[in-house]
Amino acid sequence: MSDQVPLMELKRITKVYPGAGEPAHVLNNVDLRVSAGESLAIIGPSGCGKSTLLNIMGTLDGPTSGTVNFDGRNMLTLNDRERADFRNRSLGFVFQFHHLLPQCTALENVLVPTLVNRQTEHARARGTHLLDRVGLASRMHARPGELSGGECQRVAVARALINSPRLLLADEPTGSLSREGALDLTTLLLELNREEHITLVAVTHSLEVAEMMGSVLELKNGALIVRRGNAV
Ligand code: ADP
Ligand code: MG
């Protein structure tokens, strides 16, 4: 294992949902190190806790116990505002459903995350560049209703990258696409991972998608098992 500080490190992460009946122990002492530049798939059946784990990595949810470090910094000591700022600057998110604003064009949707810091000419130029990069140069001014599912997901990828995040967290990014669309989108994500040096962590239940990534981990009974690559 390298001595370098990992980009993201989870230590002894436990997550218990109290619930009405028996508490659900979803994550049980999970350790994970993600190195800068790697591409990592997390697989496992529905309900095993993949989204829970990704949401904890994205500081969208907190663990019951354990620590979450990003670039050597403890994320759990940040206040809400600092955490939101960290997410906006350093993380990009892609979900199964694109969550684009229907009344806005592709380009306007891509620029939404830049509105917090006021929209600049630079942001517009980067948004145009990213839409071109994801193959939508001729569809920048189309609204989501005029785009296919795969095209909307490409807009969502461009939106996730607009603030040049270091880590892209994708939760079933290909879950709503055809097999061909899923393989195309995964190819695109891996090209962006290599070209822009964006670390990629993707949750998927497609083994075919997972096999395209650098490392594969399986979440099983609340624990992570290395299937290929990444030394947890
Ligand atoms: P996956 O993404 O692998 O399908 P999830 O992380 O969404 O799994 O869910 C893991 C388990 O935790 C499931 O049994 C789910 O019902 C439960 N769970 C998820 N979120 C909550 C919540 N907010 N409250 C209670 N239980 C939850
Ligand atoms: Mg899920």
The pLDDT > 90 percentage for the chain reads 89
Which mutation among 13, 28, 48 tests ligand 1's pocket best, with the greatest number of atoms within 8 A of CB?
48
Give the separation between CA 167 and CA 204, rounded to whole angstroms. Answer: 17
Q: Please report the pLDDT score of residue 3 as a whole number.
A: 58
Q: Is the CB of 16 under 6 A from ligand 1?
A: no
Q: Indicate the pLDDT class of residue 21, thresholds 50, 70 and 90.
A: confident
For position 143, what pLDDT does the model report? 98
From residue 128, alpha-carbon distances to 100, 125, 131, 162 in Å are: 17, 5, 5, 10
Residue 232 pLDDT grade (very low, low, confident, very high; cuts 50, 70, 90): low
pLDDT category at 153 given cuts 50, 70, 90 is very high
- For ion ligand 2, residues whose CB falls within 5 Å: 51
Look at residue 205 in the predicted model and tell me its pLDDT: 86
Q: Find out whether the beta carbon of 51 lies less than 6 Å from any atom of ligand 1.
A: yes
CB contact at 8 A, 210 and 44: no
pLDDT digits (tens, 9 = 90+) for 154-199: 999 999 999 999 999 999 999 999 999 999 999 999 999 999 899 9
Ligand 1 atom closest to the Cα of residue 53 is: 6
Compute, in angstroms, the gap from residue 202 CA to the centroid of ligand 2: 11
- pLDDT at position 190 is 97
Reported as a single tens digit per residue, the pLDDT across 105-117 is: 999 999 999 987 7
Q: What is the pLDDT of residue 119?
A: 65
- Burial class, 182, CB count within 10 angstroms (exposed 0-12 / middle 13-18 / buried 19+): buried
Ligand 2: centre distance to CA 44 (Å): 10
Is a pLDDT exceeding 90 seen at residue 209? yes
47 CA distance to ligand 1 middle (Å) = 6
Which homologous superfamily is 8-228 in? P-loop containing nucleotide triphosphate hydrolases (3.40.50.300)
Full-model pTM = 0.95
CA distance to 16, 34, 37, 158, 199, per residue, from 202 (Å): 22, 12, 13, 16, 10
The residue whose C-alpha atom lies closest to atom 15 belonging to ligand 1 is 47
Q: Read off the pLDDT of each residue in 18-47 and give the average, rounded to a whole number.
A: 94
Question: Could you state, in order of their start, the residue ranges of all structural domains in the chain?
Answer: 8-228
- Which of 14, 52, 61, 206 is the best mutation target for the ligand 1 pocket, counting ligand atoms within 8 Å of the beta carbon and taking the most? 52
Per-residue pLDDT, averaged over 90-102, amounts to: 95
Residue 2 has pLDDT above 60, yes or no: no
Asked whether residue 20 carries a pLDDT value surpassing 90, the answer given is: no
> Which ligand gives the minimal distance to the CA of 48?
1
